[in-house]
Amino acid sequence: MQKHDGMKASLASARTTTVLAVVLSTALVTAQTQITPPKNNYTAEQDVQLGREASVQVRQELPILHDDAVTSYVQDLGRRLVSAIPPELQHREFSYTFEVVNVREINAFALPGGPMFVNRGMIEAAATEGEVAGVMAHELSHVILRHGTAQASKATKYQVGEVAGAILGSIIGGGWGQVISQGTQFGLGTAFLRFSREFEKQADLEGAQLMARAGYDPRDMANMFKTIEKQGGGGGPQWLSDHPDPGNRYDYIAREAQVVRVSNPVRDTRAFDQTKDHLRRLAPAPTTEQATKKTGRTTRGGGGGGENRPPTGQVPPPSGSYRAYNEGNLFRVSVSSNWRELQDTNSVTFAPEGAYGSYNGQSVFTHGMEFGVARNESHDLQTATDELLDSLARGNPSLRRSSGYDRITVADRQGFRTVLSNRSEATGQDEAIAVFTTQLKDGTLLYAIGVAPQNQFREYRAVFDRVVSSLKVQG
Ligand SMILES: [Zn+2]
Hey, where are the domains in the chain?
A: 32-294, 322-473
Find the 241 Cα to ligand 1 centroid distance in Å.
9
Domain 322-473 top-level CATH class: alpha beta
The answer on pLDDT for 259 being more than 60 is yes
The pLDDT, as a whole number, for residue 232 is 61
**24: nearest Cα among 255, 215, 263, 265:** 255
Choose between 195 and 469: higher pLDDT: 469
Mean pLDDT estimate for the chain: 79
Find the 236 Cα to ligand 1 centroid distance in Å.
15
Find the 125 Cα to ligand 1 centroid distance in Å.
18
pLDDT tier for residue 212 given thresholds of 50, 70 and 90: very high
Choose between 306 and 198: higher pLDDT: 198
Label residue 407 exposed, middle or buried (CB < 10 Å: 0-12, 13-18, 19+): exposed
The answer on pLDDT for 454 being more than 90 is yes
The pLDDT, as a whole number, for residue 243 is 81
The pLDDT, as a whole number, for residue 435 is 93
What is the H or E stretch that residue 420 is in?
A: strand 413-423
- Nearest-10 crossing angle of helices 270-281, 68-82: 150
Mean pLDDT of 138-156: 84
CB 2 within 8 A of CB 364: yes
Mean pLDDT of 402-409: 88
The pLDDT, as a whole number, for residue 3 is 65
Find the 243 Cα to ligand 1 centroid distance in Å.
4
Find the 238 Cα to ligand 1 centroid distance in Å.
11
Mean pLDDT of 413-436: 89
Find the 393 Cα to ligand 1 centroid distance in Å.
44
pLDDT tier for residue 325 given thresholds of 50, 70 and 90: confident
Q: Which amino acid is at 144?
A: I
The whole-model pTM stands at: 0.55
Find the 184 Cα to ligand 1 centroid distance in Å.
25
Find the 105 Cα to ligand 1 centroid distance in Å.
17
pLDDT tier for residue 354 given thresholds of 50, 70 and 90: confident
The pLDDT, as a whole number, for residue 289 is 76
Residues whose CB falls within 8 Å of the CB of residue 440, separated by 6 or more in sequence, listed in order: 158, 373, 446, 473, 475
DSSP code, position 261: -
d(CA 343, CA 370): 10
Find the 101 Cα to ligand 1 centroid distance in Å.
18
Choose between 443 and 81: higher pLDDT: 81
> Of 105-114, 209-218, 358-367, where does mean pLDDT reach its minimum?
358-367
> Of 18-27, 121-130, 396-405, 435-444, where does mean pLDDT reach its minimum?
18-27
CB 135 within 8 A of CB 108: yes
The pLDDT, as a whole number, for residue 127 is 94
CB 140 within 8 A of CB 203: no
The pLDDT, as a whole number, for residue 436 is 94
> Of 33-47, 92-106, 155-169, 281-295, where does mean pLDDT reach its minimum?
155-169
The pLDDT, as a whole number, for residue 239 is 79
- Polymer length of the chain: 475
Q: In the chain, what are the helix, strand and coil shares in percent, each to the nearest 5?
A: 40, 20, 40
Find the 210 Cα to ligand 1 centroid distance in Å.
14
Find the 15 Cα to ligand 1 centroid distance in Å.
24
Find the 396 Cα to ligand 1 centroid distance in Å.
43
Find the 250 Cα to ligand 1 centroid distance in Å.
14
d(CA 457, CA 451): 8
Find the 277 Cα to ligand 1 centroid distance in Å.
29
d(CA 149, CA 111): 10
The answer on pLDDT for 407 being more than 50 is yes
The pLDDT, as a whole number, for residue 465 is 93
Find the 142 Cα to ligand 1 centroid distance in Å.
7
Find the 146 Cα to ligand 1 centroid distance in Å.
12
Reported as a single tens digit per residue, the pLDDT across 224-249 is: 999 888 876 544 567 777 788 888 99
Please count the other Cβ atoms lying within 10 Å of the Cβ belonging to residue 115: 23
Find the 244 Cα to ligand 1 centroid distance in Å.
7
Mean pLDDT of 9-24: 32
The pLDDT, as a whole number, for residue 160 is 45
**38: nearest Cα among 144, 157, 147, 139:** 147
Find the 207 Cα to ligand 1 centroid distance in Å.
10
Choose between 105 and 443: higher pLDDT: 105
Mean pLDDT of 82-100: 96
The pLDDT, as a whole number, for residue 165 is 47
Find the 160 Cα to ligand 1 centroid distance in Å.
23
Find the 266 Cα to ligand 1 centroid distance in Å.
23
Find the 240 Cα to ligand 1 centroid distance in Å.
8
Find the 161 Cα to ligand 1 centroid distance in Å.
24
> Of 30-39, 128-137, 245-254, 375-384, where does mean pLDDT reach its minimum?
375-384
The answer on pLDDT for 107 being more than 60 is yes
The answer on pLDDT for 82 being more than 90 is yes
Find the 191 Cα to ligand 1 centroid distance in Å.
13
Choose between 341 and 201: higher pLDDT: 201
Find the 203 Cα to ligand 1 centroid distance in Å.
6
Find the 195 Cα to ligand 1 centroid distance in Å.
6
Strands 115-119 and 97-101: parallel
> Of 57-66, 141-150, 219-228, where does mean pLDDT reach its minimum?
57-66
d(CA 367, CA 93): 33
Find the 78 Cα to ligand 1 centroid distance in Å.
16
Q: Taking the C-alpha atoms of 240, 242, 247 and 251 in order, what is their torsion angle to the nearest 10 degrees? A: -60
Find the 440 Cα to ligand 1 centroid distance in Å.
37
Find the 276 Cα to ligand 1 centroid distance in Å.
25
Find the 245 Cα to ligand 1 centroid distance in Å.
9
Mean pLDDT of 123-127: 95
